[in-house]
Amino acid sequence: MNRIYYKYNFMFQITGFLLLIVGIVILVTYSEYDLLITRRFFTIPGFVIATGVIILLGSFLGFYGAITKQFYLIAAYCGLLVLVLIFEIAIVIVSYGLKNDATSAIRSPMLQTLQLYESRRDIAKIWDDLQMQFECCGVAGRFDYVSNRIPVSCCHIDYGTISPFECMTANAYPTGCASVLGEWLSYNAHVIAICALLALCLQVCFVLYSMAK
């Protein structure tokens, strides 16, 4: 029985590392566009990180409880397992909810920051990075920029291009950034949901396997 317990605890630890790494990576990538997306998108990877930390701390508690054979530690460990399973189910549900309305959720903050493009250097940098990385322009499209003052980041510049180079509606990227950024956020939400679901399935399957033994 102890051998199965140790195996489960080790697998439990692996799922904790998985969630922790995924949460940190996605949270760091989101921080690049923190002014363009709502707090809701930061909540999920933060919750994933917290769940991963709880799993890792719980696994150490489980190892210590098994070694010392203290009933209260083992009972606390079992209660922690149930709590983690509930957290993972919540992560899957909320992530798929965000996945389905990502584009509509970010449209408002994107429109607000776009109006400050010429007055705030930090916002201009975020927008330039976004437009160059995703090859998009504006929120819904290049016509979001007033008076045809379109940033150079909205245009593809070939190697060897010599100034003066002017970015206009005719040569600007036709795709709006809300749709491509929304797709990127949806993909990340999907990744989070899959990782949480994978961790959940592994944990449940191993519990059932342990009970069968």
Question: pLDDT of 28-42, one tens digit each?
Answer: 999 999 889 888 889
pLDDT digits (tens, 9 = 90+) for 148-167: 688 889 988 877 666 777 78
pLDDT of residue 186: 93
Ranges 10-14, 53-57, 64-68, 74-78, most confident: 53-57
* pLDDT beyond 60 at 1: no
**Contact predicate 195/22, CB 8 Å:** yes
* pLDDT beyond 70 at 209: no
Across the range 172-180, mean pLDDT stands at: 92
Q: Predicted confidence band at 3 (pLDDT cuts at 50, 70, 90)?
A: low
**Contact predicate 150/171, CB 8 Å:** no
* pLDDT beyond 80 at 128: yes
pLDDT of residue 182: 93
Tokens of 56: 């890792």
In this structure, the number of other CB atoms found within 10 A of the CB of residue 199 comes to: 27
94 vs 190: CA distance, rounded Å? 10
Domain positions in the chain: 2-104+182-212, 106-179
137 vs 110: CA distance, rounded Å? 12
Residue type, 209: Y
Q: Which residues of 118-144 are buried (b: 16+ CB within 10 A; e: fewer)?
A: eeeeebbebbeebbbebbbbbbebbeb
115: three-class secondary structure by DSSP:
coil
Across the range 65-75, mean pLDDT stands at: 74
CA of 200: how far to CAs of 12, 32, 69, in Å? 10, 30, 26
What separation, in Å, do the N-terminal and C-terminal C-alpha atoms of the chain show?
A: 8
Half-sphere exposure of 85 (CA within 13 A, CB side): 13
Across the range 67-86, mean pLDDT stands at: 80
* pLDDT beyond 80 at 147: no
* pLDDT beyond 70 at 210: no
Task: Using only the alpha carbons of the chain, give its radius of gyration.
Answer: 23
CATH superfamily of 106-179: Tetraspanin (1.10.1450.10)
Name the β-bridge partners of 155: 172
Q: Predicted confidence band at 2 (pLDDT cuts at 50, 70, 90)?
A: low
| Average pLDDT of the chain, as a whole number | 86
Helix count and strand count (H, E) for the chain: 6, 0
Q: Predicted confidence band at 211 (pLDDT cuts at 50, 70, 90)?
A: low
Across the range 93-107, mean pLDDT stands at: 87
**Contact predicate 178/146, CB 8 Å:** no
